[in-house]
Structure 1
Amino acid sequence: MKGYWIIFGSDVIDANAQQEYNRLWAPISERYGAKVRLLQPGVLVEALTSKRVLAVEFPSYEQAQACNIDPAYAEARLFALSAYKREMIIIEGDLA
């Protein structure tokens, strides 16, 4: 089964940090076969601070977990957390 990171995020507050995250994320996502999808604003029906939802699809749940603990991603994550407030869950399934 596929694996997903579901990321609930605020608006970007540090564009430079977001750019650095994107630069670091590109080779990581390629290595793990990850595909990022920004979900439509309407999917977020109850939120206190989140403004957007991202779904990052991986070929398997195991790859989603492995990417999350990869040291290269740990470095990238620091920039993501500086760029905007976010919360993330990892799930298994097929969101189609």
Structure 2
Amino acid sequence: MKGYWIILGAAVTDPEAQQVYGRLWGPIAEKYGAKLKSLEPGALVEAHTSTRVLAVEFESYAQAKACYEDPAYTEAKAWALRAYRRELIIIEGDLN
């Protein structure tokens, strides 16, 4: 069964940090076969501070967990957290 990161995020407040995160994320995504999954517009129907929702798909839940725990992602995550406030959950399933 596939694994997913579901990310609820606020607006980007530090565009430079977001650019650094994007550069660091590319090779990590490739290593783990991570793919951004498009969610229908309006998927975020109840929110207090989040304005964006993203889903990142992995071939398995184990890959999703391993990617999050990878030291390279730990470095990248620090830039993401500088760029905007977010919440991230890791789930197992199949989003079609």
Check whether TM > 0.5.
yes
- Residue 59 (structure 1) shift: 0.5
Residue equivalent to 2:27: 27
1:2 alignment partner in structure 2: 2
3-state DSSP class of the match of 2:42? Answer: helix
Residues 41, 53 of structure 1: 8 Å contact kept: no
Flag structure 2 segments of 5+ consecutive residues without an equivalent.
none
What one-letter code is carried by the residue in structure 2 that aligns with 1:92? E
TM-score, structure 2 normalization = 0.96
2:45 maps to 45
Establish whether residue 16 from structure 1 lines up as the match of residue 9 from structure 2.
no
Root mean square deviation, CA, Å = 0.9
Q: Secondary structure at the match of 1:21?
A: helix
Identical pairs, percent: 68
| Number of aligned residue pairs | 96
> Which amino acid in 1 is paired with 2:66?
A
Instruction: Tell me the CA shift for residue 36 of structure 1.
Output: 1.3
Structure 1: gaps of 5 or more residues = none
Q: What CA distance in whole angstroms lies between the structure 2 residues aligned with 1:37 and 1:27?
A: 18
Q: Deviations over 1:45-69 (max 9, x none)?
A: 1100000100000000000000000
CA contact (8 A) 1:39 1:52 kept: no
Taking structure 1 as the reference length, the TM-score comes to 0.96
| Counterpart residue identity of residue 3, structure 1 | G
